Amino acid sequence: MATPTASTPSPATGKQTPDATVKWQHRHVIDSSKLSYTDVQEILNTAKTFADILSRPVKKVPTLRGKVIVNMFYENSTRTRTSFELAGRYLSADISNFSIATSSVKKGESIIDTAETLAAMGVDAVVIRHSSSGICQQLANHFGNRLGIINAGDGWHDHPTQGLLDLYSILEKRSCIKGKKIVIVGDITHSRVARSNIAILNLFGADVHVAAPSTLLPVDIEQLGCKAHTQIEPALEGADIVMCLRLQLERQKAGLIPSLSEYNKFYTINKERLQRHCKPDTIIMHPGPMNRGVEIASDVADDKSTSLITNQVTSGVAIRMALLYLVLSTPVERGQ
């Protein structure tokens, strides 16, 4: 299990209130495993205050007026990009999109030079999605606290806002997740979503399991703080929460799964599997976009009594509002 940093209260104490004397002072959110228990509590509390804005007739507060954020998306993602974009707009920030297709990246400029250019234009924070694991940390090392940096998914490494929004969504339904059995099912190897969730759920004392065909399960995954299964039945047994992962369909071409129908036969989360193995009120989650009939059956996805999939999307906006607020409110003078 991942160890929270020494300065934060251990989830083992069950203490769920943040230490009021330790305050957020990060300009970067890059690595789920480096977030302390206190950090996460502060993010959750901030998100809670912002979530209300989403259901108002006028979805706009002036909190970040005159702050400038750029979405640097080197991989396509309407969902995450739009989530950050709307999060910024609800807080009255100026948020600009920067996509591969029209970028100087094509001209061979390094991402550090590109980000330096944005910083010199007055940009306060960048939100980065990139196919290279570790690129956000590399930028953070270069910039120190001169530029806010939020990781919106870097390679297979991490996707901290996903882990945070998943935690937030669960805590809206369950008062405590300590000891709860949470099973992540699907392509664990290539999943930054899985890595982010393992780190953050462990911080809150969950009993995290992962299940995947052996070709999609890294050998040393248990070192991250989870129990690994190559068969789905023991993984689902007594589960409180099931998280499906999106199966990148190109994995089949790479020979990592024999066929979609075989995957469907052994791993798809459907009503029958849930009823046979999980707790009666098991929560179902999916980071989206879904391949219906591949990793999740449609009736499971659409059952509002157990599926949190829509809630996850809404939580995502609230969490991103919280992070933009916290990162942009951290004084630049202090270190990360």
Q: Which residues bind a second copy (CB under 8 A)?
A: 54-60, 65-68, 70, 73, 76-79, 81-83, 85-86, 89-90, 94, 96, 98-99, 101-110, 113-114, 116-118, 120-123, 249, 288-292, 310-311, 313-314, 316-317
In the complex, what is the shortest distance from the CB of residue 203 to a second copy, in angstroms, rounded to a whole number? 26
Q: Give which of 160, 246, 222 is closest to 196, Cα–Cα.
A: 160
**Which DSSP state fits 59?**
-
Distant-in-sequence, close-in-space partners of 176: CB < 8 Å, separation ≥ 6: 14, 16
Residue recorded with tokens 């020979």: 255
Nearer Cβ to a second copy (66/144): 66
Q: How far is the CB of 248 from a second copy (least distance, A)?
A: 9
Quote the CA–CA distance of 1 and 121 in Å, as a whole number.
42
Residue 56 CB, shortest distance to a second copy, in Å, is 7
**Cβ 311 to a second copy shortest distance, Å:** 8
Of residues 90 and 267, the one with the C-beta less far from a second copy: 90
Kindly state the smallest distance separating residue 120's Cβ from a second copy, in Å.
Answer: 4
3-state secondary structure 181-219: EEEEECCCCCCHHHHHHHHHHHHCCCEEEEECCHHHCCC
Cβ proximity to a second copy: between 55 and 305 the closer is: 55
Smaller CB separation from a second copy, 103 or 270 = 103
Which CB sits closer to a second copy, 3 or 310? 310
Q: Which residue has the tokens 């806002």?
A: 161
Backbone phi, then psi, for 131, in 5-degree steps? Answer: -80, -10
Beta carbon of residue 242, minimum distance to a second copy (angstroms, whole number): 19
Question: Minimum Å distance from CB 205 to a second copy?
Answer: 28
Strands (E), the chain: 28-29, 68-73, 94-99, 125-130, 148-154, 181-185, 207-211, 227-229, 241-244, 283-285
User: Which CB, 16 or 82, lies closer to a second copy?
Assistant: 82
* 159 versus 209: smaller Cβ distance to a second copy: 159
Q: Which residues contact 246 (CB under 8 A, 6 or more apart)?
A: 186, 187, 193, 286, 287, 288, 289, 290, 291, 295
